Every structure is written in C-alpha cells, then in structure tokens.
Amino acid sequence: VVGGAKSAVEEFVISPQAQNERQRLFANRKPEDQAPAEARLSWEAEARETHVLPEGTTITPASADGVAGLWVTPANPRPDAVILHLHGGGYIAGSAFIYRRFAAHTARAARLPVFLPDYALAPEHPFPAGLEDAMTAFTWLQKQGFDPSRTVLVGDSAGGGLALSLLLKLRETGAAMPGAVALVSPWTDLTVSSPSYQTLRDADPVISQHRLRVAGRVPV
C-alpha cells in the first residue's frame, strides 16, 4: 500500500452476511483445473442446497423460440417492463437454475419479471452460439409484448461480456436497443492480461487468472 492509503478491497464496508459468504466461498473453493462438466455438476448441486428464494417468487420454465429458460417473477410485478438476465460462468458453466436466486432478488427489488435464458455453453457450443441464443431471447421477449425500450438487459461476469456483445450485434443489425443495461463485474478481456489478477488474487475466492485462462482457452 503506497503512502499508507487503504487498498481498494479495504475501502469497502462488508456486512457480516457478506463476510460469512466470502469465508464459505474460500472454504469451498474449487480446483482451478476443474473440467467444465464437473464444474457444472458441483455448481448445480450447491444451488440445490443453498438457494432460498424471496417469499412469493414463482419460477416458470419457458422456451424462447427454442432457447430454454426460466421466468422468475416476484410477488407483485409491474406489467410494463421486463429484465433479460444473461448469467455468468465463464461461458463454460452456469445456468438459469443456478441463477434463479440472483434473479429473484433482482425481480423483487425492481418489481419486474426476469427471463433467464440457458444460452449455449462452450466447449460443446463455441462462439457465436451463446450470442445467437441471447439475440433469440431478446427478440422473443418482443414477441411476448415487451417493448425493447422497456427491456432491461442485465449480465454478470461472462454474462456481462455477452450482454455487451449483444448490444454490438443489435447495433450492427439496426435492431431496436434495450432501454437500459446493467453489468455486474463483466468479463470484457479474454486475454486475461490485467495486473489486478495478481494484485487481488488473495482477495477473490472465485476468480483467478488461471481459471479464466482455462475458460477462455488462453495459453498460460
């Protein structure tokens, strides 16, 4: 720490609940070389054990013109807008099921229904399969009566990078754009070259430079 200033991590005020979750994540940190299939299974199993949804939340399976997904609806939704959430997972893992709790809390706070698509994952379905599924889901929401200007695009981690890719595709094709975008720690650099991977490696219980290189197939 230069000049006695606090680090970026130390500046945050962390709640006791967040501290407990951080400790749990460190205690259950997965091997860095975990195969995609194994990572998916362990993440799904953890979601079944730990996920408690806000009271009144309903989960409904849906197909967005062939792209499977889940509707996550709060107890008192507004009818005039919708959220499209693209989940994280390094483009090789994650699912609508795993992210239903994340989406449920977002839905409750915004009082909006959330659609979580199960977009295609690598390595079985390489780029641009996931992007094409995201585009299909966005277009399908319009067919359900949701105006693009009243659609909020949300993406976290790899889903954040995918959301940015979707925005570029919409612009390139001249399609209508979403009314708002929210990105949570988006993965925007698949070269994994930022020095923060080293400076913050002991502060992050989930992400590591090696793990992202494995996900993105970037040589070490």
Q: Which residues contact 99 (CB under 8 A, 6 or more apart)?
A: 85, 87, 88, 116
**Tens digit of each residue's pLDDT (9 = 90 or more) over 131-159:** 999 999 999 999 999 999 999 999 999 99
* Between 206 and 162, the higher pLDDT residue: 162
**Tens digit of each residue's pLDDT (9 = 90 or more) over 67-124:** 999 999 999 999 899 999 999 998 988 999 999 999 999 999 999 999 999 999 988 9
Mean per-residue pLDDT for 20-43? Answer: 73
Task: With a cut of 90, say whether residue 165 has pLDDT above it.
Answer: yes
* Between 181 and 194, the higher pLDDT residue: 181
DSSP string of 112-181?
A: --EEEE----TTTS-TTHHHHHHHHHHHHHHHTT--GGGEEEEEETHHHHHHHHHHHHHHHHTPPPPSEE
Q: Is the dihedral of CA 67, 91, 37, 125 positive or negative?
A: positive
**Tens digit of each residue's pLDDT (9 = 90 or more) over 112-127:** 999 999 999 988 999 9
**For residue 23, what pLDDT is reported?**
82
Mean per-residue pLDDT for 51-75? Answer: 94
